[in-house]
Structure 1
Amino acid sequence: MNSGVYTRCAEDTYVHPRAVLIGNVILGHGCYIGPGASLRGDFGRIVIGDGANVQDNCIVHSFPGRDAVVETDGHIGHGAILHGCTVGRNALVGMNAVIMDGVELGAESIVGAQAFLRGETVIPPRSMVVGSPAKVIREVSEKEIAWKTRGTAEYQQLARDCLAGLTPVEPLKAVEADRPGMAASDVVSIQEARRTSS
């Protein structure tokens, strides 16, 4: 199938070689698209805003004539499914959450892991959303927004690092005796961030 519409990817965006992008997909600047992600712009258009990340094994799709949009600095956790929805600026969708057609997720909102947002739901900005079916339980705090923004910045740096030097290698047959660790980051889980800020 070739509709004559091709994916557009900014040159400073990283797309893992095992990610799949089909058709009308537009990727902004400084994005990270993880391994196993499937962005299918074969029916509706997919727009990923500047600085956003779509992590491992996520699916983004839509019905014909409808867009699926992740706005600037959006953060889509591992295994999440977005279908014909809009994720607002600097919002986070937790791991394995499902967001259905017509959902409008407000800016700086946080959707908990495994939440299910029914179609046509409108979530106000700065909402903490959890459950299946999902509901707003409270407003997101300034500390939580700062935590989310910091995590997204880590993925923006990861995109730059991958573009600068990620190369495929064959796995080693044995672990080296002097195996170095990965560079440590001081980014923590939201639960740990809450504990340390109390």
Structure 2
Amino acid sequence: MPIYEFQGNAPKIDPGAFVHPLASIIGDVQIGARCYIGPFASIRGDFGAIVIGEGSNVQDGCTLHVGHGRRCELEPTSHVGHGAVVHGAFLRRNTLIGMNAVIMDDAVIGESSIVAACAFVKAGWEVPPGCLVAGIPARVVRQLEEGEREGKATATRKYQELAVACLSTLREVKTSP
């Protein structure tokens, strides 16, 4: 898998994390235990630090990046859906970022909140805890119901289980012509 040191900063990946061989990890990046990093994810810690907390997942085709001297952080059990972009933002514990959503610099996604698919969270906006945000630009739609929070937690656990399964069973297969 392409993992690169950049300007003396080498990624630190917990041995209990799964990083797909087609993901790209560059520079000042920390990935915690039980994380799942999907194929074609690009995690670029070239300009600043990126921290992915334990049990989080960054799915297929996501981009995590940060501005010069800045930080991007996903607290434990963060869930970033397919194709999403998180640029220099902070995701509090148990958040879910929907597919193809964009989260900009210095935005803070409150604990146990969900950002809907294709939403655009503008720079510096603080999403309150426990709510659903949607739209372009994103706005608070409503507070999440307990069942929705439980559903998110279940989905994140499935990705934690997938990380473990991939570490022990995922193997490239050579096909014959």
Shorter chain as denominator, the TM-score bin is over 0.9
Q: Deviations over 1:124-161 (max 9, x none)?
A: 10010000110001101110000000000000000000
Instruction: Tell me the C-alpha RMSD between the 2 structures.
Output: 1.1
Aligned ranges for residues 79-118 of structure 1 at < 5 Å?
79-118=83-122
CA distance in structure 1 between the aligned counterparts of 2:98 and 2:6, rounded to whole angstroms = 33
Cα distance in 2 between the residues matched to 1:113 and 1:7: 29
Q: For residues 51-130 of structure 1, what are the structure 2 equivalents within 5 Å?
A: 51-130=55-134
Q: For the structure 1 residues 152 and 172, does the alpha-carbon distance in structure 2 shift closer, same or farther, using more than 3 Å as the test?
A: farther
Structure 1 gap ranges (5+): 174-198
Distance 1:172 1:108, change over 3 A: farther
Q: Kindly indicate whether the alpha-carbon contact (under 8 Å) linking 2:79 and 2:156 is maintained by their aligned counterparts in 1.
A: yes
1:34 and 2:52 correspond = no
For residues 114 and 62 of structure 1, the distance between their equivalents in structure 2, rounded to whole angstroms, comes to 20
Structure 1 residue aligned with 2:170: 166
Q: Which structure would you say has the larger Rg?
A: 1
Does the aligned pair in 1 maintain the 2:6–2:26 contact within 8 Å? no
For 2:20, the equivalent position in structure 1 comes to 16
Cα distance in 2 between the residues matched to 1:126 and 1:7: 32
Higher relative contact order (CA 8 A, sep 6+): 2
TM-score by length of structure 1 reads 0.85
Q: Pick one of 35, 50, 56 that aligns with 2:54.
A: 50
Equivalent pairs counted in the alignment come to 173
Whichever residue aligns with residue 160 of structure 2, its letter is Q
Q: Normalising by structure 2, what TM-score?
A: 0.95
Divergent runs of 4+, >6 A = none
Unaligned runs of 5+ in 2: none
How much does 1:170 deviate?
A: 2.9
Considering fraction of residues, name the structure with more strand: 2
Q: 1:183 — aligned with what?
A: none
3-state secondary structure, aligned to 1:147? helix
**Identity, % of aligned pairs?**
46
Aligned counterpart in structure 2 of residue 143 of structure 1, from 140, 143, 147? 147
